[in-house]
A and B are shown apart, each in its own frame.
Chain A
Amino acid sequence: MIARITAAVRLWFAPERIREEGTTPDYRFSLANERTFLAWIRTALALVAGGIAVDQFLTGLRWAARTTVAIVLLAGAVACAFRAVHQWVRVERAMRRGEDLPASRFPAVLATATAGAAVLVIAVVVLGWAGR
């Protein structure tokens, strides 16, 4: 388990090493993988924008509530950025080895967290908990 994690982390910072194994797939598949990577990067950027915007514009909320929401969004951005690289490396390696593409729980986790956050915000706004 720990060996697998360190191997993955090493690949994040030295992704050129995946070229050492397997055969180069059709360039269009690699480009599709690259666009998915960029879409995750944009998701991370959107979360950063959300974090800054919450702190700047939701001035009706108490400081603690505002900062907590902003930090959760920024932490989500870190997760999305690493996930972008992690999944790109895994898919690229699977394509080079001719394996099935790796399945991942991350999209489901992100979707659940987004839905949960939306419900929470509705509750806070309707019940007026977070006012000054």
Chain B
Amino acid sequence: MSGNGRTRVTFPPRDPGAQPERTWFAWRRTTLSFVVVVALAARVALVERSALAVVAAACGALAWLAMLRVTQRRIRALSRAQPEAMGAAEVRGTLLSVLALIVVGVILL
């Protein structure tokens, strides 16, 4: 990055263990796992074609959107240098999204 006429780009100091990146990917993996469950719920709604199953699958999709919001927030925080520990909003948001999805699973039985 010596100044040979090119534009200088400043990166946050890199962590050699790539901890923020690994955590970032862990959040992504988790939202992806969530999609698998929502897809299963959507399949149930398509096969059973009952109003209850469709509403339940839609609630599952909403829970996924909530989870996605939490993930985006956290990933933004992780892109700063030396990110702070996860806060209450992330813990609560994740827990409530997962519990909502479990309720959807119970309704679909």
B19 and A55 contact, CB distance less than 8 A: no
Q: How far is the CA of A52 from the CA of B98 in the complex (A)?
A: 14
Interface size on B, residues (CB 8 A): 38
Chain B residue nearest to A77 (CB atoms) is B102
Contact present for A77 and B91 (CB under 8 Å): no
Contact with A along B84-108 (1 / 0, CB 8 A): 1111100110110011011001101
Q: Is the interface of A mostly helix, strand, loop or mixed?
A: helix
Q: Find out whether the CB atom of B88 lies under 8 angstroms from the CB atom of A56.
A: no
A48 and B44 alpha carbons, distance in the complex (Å): 14
> In the complex, how many residues of chain A place their beta carbon closer than 8 angstroms to a beta carbon of chain B?
42
- Separation of A49 and B33 alpha carbons in the complex (Å): 9
Type the 1/0 row for B15-41, where 1 means its CB is closer than 8 Å to any CB of A.
Answer: 101011011001101100110110011
Q: Which one of A37, A46, A67, A77 lies within 8 Å of B86 (CB-CB)?
A: A37
Alpha-carbon separation in the docked complex, A34 to B84 (Å): 11
Contact B33 A35 (CB under 8 A): no
CA distance A24 to B86 in the complex (A): 12
Give the Cβ gap from B92 to chain A, nearest Cβ, in Å. 7
Complex: chain A residue closest to B92, CB-CB: A13
Contacts of A3-56 to chain B: CB distance below 8 A: 12-16, 24, 27-28, 30-35, 37-39, 41-42, 44-46, 48-49, 51-53, 55-56
